[in-house]
Structures are given as structure tokens and as C-alpha cells.
Amino acid sequence: MLVAGASVSLLAPIAVQASDVMKLNPSTLDSSSFTNNQVEDIENLKSIVKELQSKIDELDGLQPNQSEFEAGSFSTTTSMDGKAIFWVGGIDGINDIDDDEDGSLADEPTDGVQTGYTYTMNLNTSFTGDDNLYVRLKGGNNGDAWSSKPAGYHISTKDTDHAMNIDKIWYTFPIGESITAFVGPMIENYYMYVTPSIYKPGALKAFKLGGNSNFGASTDVGFGFKYEADNGFAIASNIVDKNADSTGFFQNDSVSKWDTQFAYTQPRYHLSLTLSNAQEWTSQLYNATALGENTAADSMGYAARAYWMPEESGTAVPEISVGYDLKVWDDAANGAVDEAASWMIGLTWKDIMSADDRIGIALSQPLKATSVAGGGDTGEVDDPLLWEAYYSFKYNDYMTITPAVFGGRDSFQQDDDTFGTVVTTTLKF
């Protein structure tokens, strides 16, 4: 269409001249009254007019084709944006952590330099102006170190072996003026929350949401609602069930998490408490020790979150995000872990060296066993710790580069110590 438009603009004035020439009707001119040079000019003129008429006939067919193209395009209410993320780095000590649920990473040589990438497209469609159908297409691939929980899982890891899949899909719509409803076959609990943390991780997913232990992350069938009052008070309640598409919600064999959040948010600060009723839920492994990830029974989780930001960025005063999680397992057998706790603090400085840059530092105690049923020693490591520090800056309006260092101490089991570096590049379009 761009070519056609350019052609029209270029040929239009020529076509007008051709029309004037056509009025001369050079084919009817009597060449006997002209010199040899004039006769040659007349023959050339005839050839030019014939060629111009052919071009004009071609242009006549462009308008129907343009209409056909527009009929097959996106709805005017659908928008698309996306991003490509690339990273390269390495983690020393990550191959000592048996962090995969089935132990498949335990013996793999995951130390050393490894890369990763993801490619994402977000589609948003509104049918009424107030609702939204969200679809996320995503694919990627990465080295094993970047899938290692908790000490190496990169914030952008999505290993699909290069396949582009539907990664999220849900529908939101308003109920009255203050309630937003959610329903979808591929959604996670925290997309239905009031935002609990403003700290953005630079390397590890363990720092997402103010400490990614009680919140966890798992995509499946879910629904919920969020009520937000004008004074900043909000309530959100939602459920995601991994077996809902086969056996239904609220069944005895459910693998589900039902979260209810109470929040109070003002322009510069936020306070919230989230209760999580989990059945056979294992996603706390993003930020948990070997004993803290107890999956033997159902549990109740309590997640307190708060953040505060200064009036102005670009100063020595940082944004502060904090989180504390407590998890209690139901009917734990004697000697089994029945309680675990974690905490996280994140500091962010914005606009320090250039506009839109970000310096981040975070510390977290992974979800650690603090009690066993029947009493006695938990056998847990004393002071597990994860940390990261990064600097993120915009190379231009579309590219952000984030070098980071990170590490862990006894982060999964005793002597599971790690240190890593990574550079992440994000391209938005």
C-alpha cells in the first residue's frame, strides 16, 4: 500500500499532463506537413501517450485492492506491543543446588557463562470500551542455570525451546464503578491483585512482588475480582486451580491457591495483607530453602507488603519496598515442617545519573523452616540469604540495558553459596 500510495502521488501530475496531450490526439496529426525531426518527435509523443495510458489503467485497479486489505486488518480496538529480552552471564556454584522439583538439574554442569532470551507480544482488545481481552504470546530459550530456583532463576526466564506459545489469556470487565472482574483459562493470582511492591528485580525472580515465596507463580484456569474505593482502600479475591480444566474447581484433588488481599494505597505509599489458602501448591520454590518448600500438605500463607516513595526522584533518598511472609501447613506429621517464614527489602534510586535510570539493591531470606510439628529442631540452615544489585539505563527510547551482580548464602541447603553476574538487554516495540 505504501508503494501504491507513492506511485499515485508521483504519477498523478504526469497523468494530468497525459490528459492534456491526449487532447492533441497526435495519432490524427498529418506528418506530411512537418519536417523529418518533427515527424520523429510526433512518433515519440505517440509512444509516451500510449505508455501513460497503460499506467493510468493500472492505477484504476488500486482502490478495490486497498479496500480488501483494510477488511482483513486488525479491529480498531485491538492494540499490540511487545519486547525482546536477551541476557548473558554466569553463576558460580549453581550446579551444587538440587532445586528442580524432580531433581533433573542436580547433576548438570550449570556453572559457567550461559545465555537466554524471550520474545513477547501483548494483544489487548476492547469490545465495549471498558472491558479488555488480554492475550500474551511468548517464547524463549535459556541455559539451565537461569531456570534454577531459587538462586539463579532469571526474572525473564521462559524456556519453551524456541516455540512461540499462548502464555496468558484472560478477560476483564467492570461491575459497577469500583469492581473489576477477571476470568480466564491462563492467568496467575497476582495479576488480579492491587500492586503489592514497586521494587523491580534486575536479575532474580525471587525478588518479584516483594519476595516471591508466598505469592508463588503458576498459570492456569482462574477468576476473581478487585474492588478499589476512591479513598485508596481495596479488596481483591481470586483463585487459580491447576486441575480446574479436568476435574473442576474446589475438588478434593485440587492443586489450587485462593488469595484474598486487603490493601490501602496512596500516591506515595502502600500497605497490604494477603491471605493464601493453598492446596498442594508448590510454587513458593522461587524463593525458598529445601525445607521451606514443604509440599506435603495444604497450607495457609500470610503476606504483608508495604512500599514508600519520596516526593522527588534523583536524590539520595530511595524508594523502599518491604515484605514479610509466614506459611503454616495443615495437619503436618510429627517431625515435619509446619511453619516457615521469609522477608525481603528492596531499595530503588531513580534518575540518579541520567533520566529514567534505576539503581536497585535487594536482600531476601528465602522461605525458611521455623517450626516442626511436635516441637524440636527444624534442622534448617541458620541464615539463608539472597541478594542482588543492578544499574538499569535507557540506551535510547526503545532499548534498556541492565548489568547486575547477585548471589546467595545457604540459599537452598547448607553451603549452597552462589555468585553471579548478568547483563540483560530489553528491546521494546
Place of cell 534442622: 379
Contacts of 221 (CB under 8 A, 6+ apart): 184, 185, 186, 187, 240, 241, 242, 244, 245, 249
User: Do residues 311 and 301 make contact, with C-beta atoms less than 8 angstroms apart?
Assistant: no
Same domain, 60 and 162: no
| Mean pLDDT, the chain, integer | 85
Q: Measured between alpha carbons, how far is 385 from 363 in angstroms, rounded to an integer?
A: 7
Given 71, 89, 117, the domain boundary residue is 71
Name which of 93-107, 366-380, 388-402, 405-419 the model is least confident about. 93-107
CATH number at residue 132: 2.40.160.10
Buried residues in 175-188 as b, exposed as e (16+ CB within 10 A): eeeeebbbbbebbb
Given 14, 40, 71, the domain boundary residue is 71
**Domain range for residue 9?**
2-71
Q: Measured between alpha carbons, how far is 388 from 184 in angstroms, rounded to an integer?
A: 34
Q: Measured between alpha carbons, how far is 117 from 156 in angstroms, rounded to an integer?
A: 8
Same domain, 253 and 300: yes
Same domain, 115 and 10: no
Res. 59: pLDDT tops 60 = no
Same domain, 188 and 329: yes
Return the SS3 of 406: strand
Choose among 345, 354, 344, 416: nearest CA to 380.
416
Binning pLDDT at 50, 70 and 90, where does residue 3 land? very low
Q: Measured between alpha carbons, how far is 333 from 90 in angstroms, rounded to an integer?
A: 40
pTM above 0.95, yes or no: no
Same domain, 191 and 266: yes
Same domain, 304 and 284: yes
Number of domains into which the chain is organized: 2
Same domain, 182 and 268: yes
The helix (run of H) or strand (run of E) holding residue 403 is strand 399-409
DSSP state of 175: E
Contacts of 152 (CB under 8 A, 6+ apart): 91, 94, 97, 110, 145, 146, 204, 418, 420
Same domain, 276 and 392: yes
Count the Cβ atoms, other than its own, within 10 Å of residue 47: 10
CA distances 125 to 80, 194, 381, Å, are: 9, 22, 49
DSSP state of 378: -
For 315-365, what is each residue's pLDDT tens digit? 999 999 999 999 998 888 888 888 999 999 999 999 999 999 999 999 999
Same domain, 195 and 59: no
Place of cell 552471564: 89
Beta strands in 229-332 (DSSP E): 233-241, 256-266, 269-279, 299-308, 319-329
Same domain, 58 and 187: no
| Residue 214: per-residue pLDDT | 80
| Residue 296: per-residue pLDDT | 65
For 66-89, what is each residue's pLDDT tens digit? 444 344 455 678 999 999 999 999
Same domain, 60 and 103: no
Same domain, 91 and 215: yes
Place of cell 508463588: 216
Given 38, 71, 104, the domain boundary residue is 71
For 216-256, what is each residue's pLDDT tens digit? 778 999 999 999 999 999 999 999 998 887 777 777 778 89
Count the Cβ atoms, other than its own, within 10 Å of residue 96: 17
Res. 16: pLDDT tops 50 = no
